[in-house]
Amino acid sequence: MFGKYKNIILEMSLKKIYQKFFLNDYKNTGYYFYLKKLYFSFLKTKYPDFEYTEFDKNISLLINYDGPDTLDSYYSAFDPDFKLNLNEYYKIHEKQIFLRFLKYSLNPKLIEKKYARIYNYCIEILNKPLKVLEIGGGIPHGLIYNNWKSKENICNKLTYVEADMLHTQFVKWYCKTKSINLEIKLFPASKTPTIDGLDFNFVFAKDIFEHLDDPKKLIRELAHNVKDNQILLCLDLEDKGDFTTQHISPNLTILKDILIDNGFELANKLDDIGIWRKK
């Protein structure tokens, strides 16, 4: 049995070793350490007696945990219908989700590739202060990472459209701490938000459309609210595979046709993010 899967097991092991020792950055001068400190400062406002040593010990344990996630199994064993209410489902998982966003920050190359360089590209193209609209996707790594690197605020305003989760509270705290002009629009998890009437010149939406019950509605609203080519839509519209509890609308490439039909063109593509602009 082992012989049959030996190469697969060895390949998986090598990937984990490479990730841990060559991609992950644990140094106290890195983004992960910076974000972890922000996490603790935020939690300290909720729990004044919280000690950093306890927080750091638990985070290290969780970050390095490589076993199966059993939370769904616990709930399913006693409540087989618990996944039917997706808003409640995400709320149950909010601490795991919050940790996952922190875990991303261990790999600065990933953050640069999938988040930060999108912001940098749009700053260069627009050549004006950013009025950012972030739709879903959790922690706005592109904003926080670039603010950390440049040691200044790179946007005039952040409009943050997200479900009422722990990471949403963190973003509110972060913006207040850093004196960032913030507008928050909350929507129930998995339900499609409305963005009518919002002021923006740069939209970042990654890992969100597949979670929505009607992503076509959101794309149509984006198209309707963009009047000229001075607004950039940075959207992850690649298919997400099969239908799952979280990926309730995985077929995303059909959304590109809506943009094209509304006079948009793909100006550039950076990894899985397409940058769309009005013709």
| Residue 66 pLDDT | 84
CA distances for 46 relative to 50, 51, 94, 150, 236, angstroms: 9, 12, 16, 29, 34
Q: 13 versus 137: which is more confidently predicted?
A: 137
- Please report whether residue 18 resides in a domain: no
Q: What residues make up the domain containing 159? A: 108-278
Q: Could you report the per-residue pLDDT of 89-126, keeping only the tens digit for each?
A: 999 999 999 999 999 999 999 999 999 999 999 999 99
Q: Could you report the per-residue pLDDT of 31-64, keeping only the tens digit for each?
A: 999 999 999 999 999 999 999 999 999 999 999 8
State the average pLDDT over residues 13-30.
Answer: 69
State the average pLDDT over residues 251-279.
Answer: 96
- Please report whether residue 51 resides in a domain: no
pLDDT band at residue 1 under the 50/70/90 scheme: very low
What's the CATH number where 166 sits?
A: 3.40.50.150
- Please report whether residue 128 resides in a domain: yes
Distance CA 119, CA 130 (A): 9
What's the chain's Rg over C-alpha atoms?
20
- Please report whether residue 194 resides in a domain: yes
| Residue 4 pLDDT | 54
The tally of domains found in the chain comes to 1
Report yes or no: 207 and 140 within 8 Å, Cβ to Cβ. no
- Please report whether residue 23 resides in a domain: no
- Please report whether residue 98 resides in a domain: no
Q: Chain centroid to CA 173: how far?
A: 17
- Please report whether residue 150 resides in a domain: yes
- Please report whether residue 20 resides in a domain: no
| Residue 68 pLDDT | 87
Reduced to 3 states (helix: H, G, I; strand: E, B; else coil), residue 250 is coil
Q: Could you report the per-residue pLDDT of 126-181, keeping only the tens digit for each?
A: 999 999 999 998 999 999 999 999 999 999 999 999 999 999 999 999 999 999 99
Could you write out the DSSP letters of every residue in 202-229?
A: EEEE-S-GGG-S-HHHHHHHHHHH--ST
